[in-house]
Amino acid sequence: MAEYTKADREQLGEQLAAVCRRCLGSGDVSGLTQLSGGASMESWRFCFASRDWVLRRLPGLSANLNVPEGVAMLSLADQALLLQHVYRQGVSVPEVLTILLPEDGVGDGFVMACVAGEALPQKLLSDPAYTRALGALSKCCAAELAKIHGVPADALPIGLTMQTPREAVKEQEYFYAQQGSLHPVFSLAFAWLSENAPGVTRQVVVHGDFRLGNFLMDHAGLTAVLDWELSHLGDPIRDVAFFCAPSWRFGRYHLEAAGVAPSETWIKDYESATQTEVDRAHFTWWLVFNTLWWGVACMRMAATFRDGSVATMERAVIGRRISEVAIDLLLLLEPLRGKPFNRLAINPPQGEPPAGDITPEDLLLAVRAWNKGRLKEEQDEHRLFEARVANNAMGIVTRELAFGHTLSRQEQARMDALGATNEELAQRLRQRSEFFADDRLWDHLRLSAIEQLWIDQPRYAGLTAALAKWGST
């Protein structure tokens, strides 16, 4: 995320005041605060005319911003027009005040009303004050999604892209092929999706990113659905399955629906709200697709860090979340193999104890400890978020230095036994998914995913689930 000076913030405040005066009359901006999160967009909260507002825009200090096409399908202006339309249709979204003009000098974006509520999943899932609201979230979101899918597609103020399941796979595989390296698990998922794509069903307005983290909630329940940049016309089950994507369970892996309910409860709530029936195999297909979609998005955002177009710390760390997606995909695909899996002999890695001079690991551990101390004192929400991302990055490097070489040797030994490189395995799996019936290959894929997660994110709930399921008893 961009780092703004005091002068930058003052200038933005003056520009926003001019925007608001154009729409609301006299007044001044106060309480300008950058909100945390958002790998592609910025959000700023401020007060004008005794009311709170939010600016949503492309990062203002990223002159060479490259938001990957297909990660964000709609421009911010189109998002604002869509929000205005669905707001009038009764969908719970913020009211849009205005779309920014070039002469405003603020960049591409819009200003919307600030809706009361908490969006941070970690806060929602840990604070007992939200327990009742979370208990009703499945039914509440089902009712909201029914309203979204019921918005008449023929009266929209903008043209939305239409996608069938097969078109969605082809689009993501195109983006995947551009990354310059192939991942065996991703290639396997693409092959399975291509071979099992469902036919075209009814086409509705799809939110595209319907999950915890994109909702605002108060103690009573859902107050707004945010982040509409992935909206398009397509299969409604895409949204239903996205609500259950593993990456968005936030530690509650066993509760597939947003970490708050079993997937079957969520599906039945959606069926009741829409008076439709959800085919479970169709749902599983979209669950695999949405999981893979996030993995490709991580690869593409990492590419923008490497090419310098969005060289932020958050983009670099997101690039290491690919290993989370790999373990998620393996857990989803394993029941589809149609045969029992082998138990694995899994030995957690041990780092070599430092000796003699201060090592790179020592330096990283010292900086992490210092940064953790800062976290306890930091009050600015944006800086707190960045400090946590920095600690994650240092943790990855510390573990890579400590035992990455050992895990790499183990992986290479398995590939030598298989007689193929990872690139060759990826190409073979993409040609035909039935290759994953090979037990030696399947064991290699599982062990490689586990080993990479031990480096990237050993606390990821999907890793815990995999170890419990696959480990020898």
List, in order, residues 6 or more apart from 330 with CB less than 8 Å away.
185, 445, 446, 449, 466
Domain membership of residue 260 (yes or no) is: no
pLDDT of residue 1: 46
Domain membership of residue 189 (yes or no) is: no
pLDDT of residue 268: 98
Residue 141 is encoded by which pair of tokens?
């979101």
> How does residue 183 score in pLDDT terms, banded at 50, 70 and 90?
very high
Residue span of the structural domain in which 395 resides: 339-470
Q: How many domains is the chain built from?
A: 2
Domain membership of residue 171 (yes or no) is: no
Residue identified by tokens 């997606």 is 325
Distance CA 394, CA 396 (A): 5
72 versus 447: the higher-pLDDT residue is 447
Q: Among 88, 114, 140, which residue terminates a domain?
A: 114
pLDDT of residue 64: 40
pLDDT at 114 over 50: yes
> How many CB atoms within 10 Å of residue 362?
12
Q: Among 114, 144, 160, which residue terminates a domain?
A: 114
pLDDT of residue 388: 82
Strand-pair category, 232-234 with 51-57 = unpaired
CB-count exposure of residue 133 (10 Å: 0-12, 13-18, 19+): buried
pLDDT at 343 over 50: yes
The least confident of 87-101, 226-240, 419-433 is 419-433
| Mean pLDDT of all residues in 275-299 | 97
> How many CB atoms within 10 Å of residue 418?
17
pLDDT of residue 353: 57
Domain membership of residue 438 (yes or no) is: yes
Q: Long-range contacts: 129-135, Cβ < 8 Å, 24+?
A: 129/219, 130/217, 130/219, 132/219, 133/217, 133/218, 133/219, 133/220, 133/221, 133/222, 134/217, 134/260, 135/260
- pTM for the whole structure: 0.91
Contact 110, 80 (CB under 8 A): yes
pLDDT of residue 368: 74
pLDDT at 289 over 60: yes
Domain membership of residue 31 (yes or no) is: yes
pLDDT tens per residue, range 9-39: 999 999 999 999 999 999 999 999 988 655 5
pLDDT at 269 over 80: yes
pLDDT at 355 over 70: no
Domain membership of residue 126 (yes or no) is: no
Domain membership of residue 58 (yes or no) is: yes
The candidate with the shortest Cα–Cα distance to 15, out of 39, 32, 3, 2, is 32
pLDDT of residue 65: 41
pLDDT tens per residue, range 146-174: 999 999 999 999 999 999 999 999 999 99
Domain membership of residue 47 (yes or no) is: yes
pLDDT tens per residue, range 28-79: 999 999 886 555 678 999 999 999 999 999 876 543 444 444 444 789 999 9
pLDDT of residue 386: 79
| Mean pLDDT of all residues in 187-200 | 94
Paired strand residues for 257: 261
Paired strand residues for 204: 234
CATH of the domain at 66: 3.30.200
The candidate with the shortest Cα–Cα distance to 296, out of 124, 174, 413, is 174
Residue identified by tokens 């800062």 is 374
Q: Among 90, 114, 138, which residue terminates a domain?
A: 114
Rg (CA), the chain: 23
How many residues does the structure list for the chain?
Answer: 473
| Mean pLDDT of all residues in 293-314 | 88
pLDDT at 4 over 90: no
| Mean pLDDT of all residues in 418-434 | 89
Distance CA 301, CA 303 (A): 5
pLDDT of residue 309: 81
